[in-house]
Amino acid sequence: MRRLVWGLLLAGLYAPAQYRGKTLIAHRGASAYAPENTLPAYRLAIEQGADYVEQDLQITKDGVLVCLHDLTLERTTDVADVFPDRHRTEEGVRHWYASDFTLQEIRRLDAGAWRGEQFRGTRIPSWQEAIDLIRGKAGLYPETKAPEVYGSRGFDMERLVLDVLRKNGLDRPGADPKTPVIIQSFSEASLRKMAGLGSRLPRLFLISERDQQKWLSPEAIAPVNEFALGIGPEKTMVRSHPELVKWAHDAGLSVTIWTLSSANPGGFPDVAQETAFYLFQLGVDAAFTNNPDRFPRQPR
């Protein structure tokens, strides 16, 4: 695997961040300042110097990929007002699932007013709209969200993602040097399926703190290089177990942490100092941050 990483590096197609400096990924865009996963948040992330802009992907009833973190619409839109009777009730709680609405219906929802009047009227973008905005200005960092859930509803998220990338000529490493693409997921099966479908795009395997006991050994980390070129642990895992960075690097894997935010700087005076700690003291290679403008490019 190490030979593969170095081969890709020398080919100029993909370079894990430990070999080329630190990488800034705008988490749901510049989500500290604008409604997450919307065009204003993506546009601001580019203005603030993001290397990559993240898009969480969900699927509409008519099979269109849209940028939305949750499976459901109620947290970040006015769906309960626009479609009051289109919910599912689960354990006494009402939920409006994105997959129960067509793209045309979702376009009727306000996805910005919850963050302030200046964002009223902001819409949930399709992934294609996000690509059109970001392309040539930053990299794309899509996440396959809950692919098993969508599989149970008759959708093939991995094929949909690759189809969109193919239509945009972005399905190969290095296809557009100004728009690199990295695919991320918490689902090992989803990332393995991407490889099985012939995708050579780099992949990041996300790891939650609640699952950390499974991954806290070199023997557990090393096999990740069978289906990904990097791991994405929750930041608290790395702070508690900094040896995780060495184990990953020894296996030829990069380390990308999530999520740094001015709203929760982890006991540091500010998010910039927290980010610098992870990047330059613990040696992680990249970070998802809500605050692209607070990302330190050099040690302080």
134: domain CATH number is 3.20.20.190
Instruction: Write down the pLDDT at residue 220.
Output: 97
Average pLDDT, stretch 240-245?
A: 98
In a domain, 24, yes or no: yes
Give the SS3 label for residue 226.
Answer: helix
Residue 205 pLDDT level (bands cut at 50, 70, 90): very high
pLDDT at 7 over 80: no
pLDDT in tens, 80-100: 999 999 999 999 999 999 999
| Tally of domains in the chain | 1
pTM of the shown model: 0.94
| Helix ranges restricted to H, 168-234 | 188-196, 218-221
Instruction: Write down the pLDDT at residue 15.
Output: 46
Instruction: Write down the pLDDT at residue 21.
Output: 81
In a domain, 96, yes or no: no
Angle at 164 between CA 160 and CA 166, to 5 degrees: 115
In a domain, 283, yes or no: yes
Instruction: Write down the pLDDT at residue 17.
Output: 42
Q: Give the whole-number percent of the chain exceeding pLDDT 90.
A: 92
Per-residue 3-state assignment (H helix, E strand, C coil) for 74-97: CCCCCHHHHCCCCCEEECCEEECE
In a domain, 26, yes or no: yes
In a domain, 236, yes or no: yes
pLDDT at 8 over 60: no
pLDDT at 130 over 50: yes
Of residues 78, 87, 185, the one with CA closest to residue 122:
78
Average pLDDT value over all residues in the chain: 94
Let me know if 249 is a catalytic residue.
Answer: no
Domain that holds residue 255: 2-71+125-292
In a domain, 105, yes or no: no
pLDDT in tens, 40-70: 999 999 999 999 999 999 999 999 999 999 9
In a domain, 35, yes or no: yes
pLDDT at 3 over 90: no
Let me know if 27 is a catalytic residue.
Answer: yes
pLDDT at 135 over 60: yes
In a domain, 29, yes or no: yes
C-alpha–C-alpha distance, residues 232 and 158, integer Å: 19
Average pLDDT, stretch 249-272?
A: 97
Of residues 285, 300, 215, 298, the one with CA closest to residue 25:
285
Instruction: Write down the pLDDT at residue 2.
Output: 46
